[in-house]
Copies of this chain bind each other. A is one copy, B any other.
Amino acid sequence: MLAKQTTRRIIEPGTKLMSDGNEVTTYSNLLSGVVKLTKILADGRQQIVGLQFAPDFIGRPFKRENQLDAEAATRVSVCSFPKSVFERLIINSPSVEHRLHHQALKELDEARTWMLTLGRKTAAEKVASLLYYISCHIDPERPHLEGPVEFELPLTRAEIGDFLGLTIETVSRQFTKLRKSGAIEIVHNRSIKLLSLDQIRRHAKLDPET
């Protein structure tokens, strides 16, 4: 549908899809990879306010200007289309709006969960929470089973700090702590193995279900 006006692109890590303060001109669907959404204070302090995984929709509907940056965290493949196409699509099809509404609510739930994490959890709990979150989203295929999970972190230590409101050093120390406690194995910097999901959940102060 509307194939002519959509373009598929591969985007390298670090490339911006949207910039804070710029006019919204295109929307995208994320086909693979991870995109990070960030906010920056005038003095440079930075906060990641969300991660998007395939097959998320990227862009802020109904707004002239973006309020955040979207940047590829890994190599990413997206399908983009101009604002005009988006607007025609959504006017003609309530089911598209319904789908976007659903995603907005899902992201709202997530953002609020992160507010709890940022405001009330310790550094160790924050790192465990992020590891668990990523492990749940990184691989759309994998069912939610117990047992060890291994995956490649889509974020550097600095980005993890910017997500969790911590410094690089604190993040690094919490990784070593989790490793020494036997909850995770650091296969090689970005490549992490969660030895027991249940244990990670306990470290993250998450309920058994979540």
Contact = CB atoms under 8 A, between A and B. Distances in A.
A157 B192 CA distance: 41
Interface of A: 37, 39, 41-43, 45-47, 49-50, 60-63, 67-68, 94, 97-98, 100-102, 104-105, 107-109, 111-116, 118-121, 162-165, 205, 207
| Count of chain copies | 2
A94 B61 CA distance: 16
B47 A120 contact: yes
B120 A49 contact: no
A67 B112 CA distance: 10
Contact of A118 (B108, B113, B118): B118
A98 B41 CA distance: 31
State the 3 A-B residue pairs at the shortest beta-carbon distance, nearest first. A119-B165, A111-B111, A49-B112
Contact of A45 (B45, B63, B97, B120): B120
B116 A115 contact: no
A115 B46 CA distance: 11
Contacts of A116: 39, 41, 47, 49
Contact of A94 (B97, B105, B121, B165): B97
Nearest to A109: B67
12 contacts: A39-B112, A42-B205, A42-B207, A46-B120, A47-B120, A49-B115, A50-B112, A97-B101, A115-B115, A119-B162, A119-B164, A119-B165
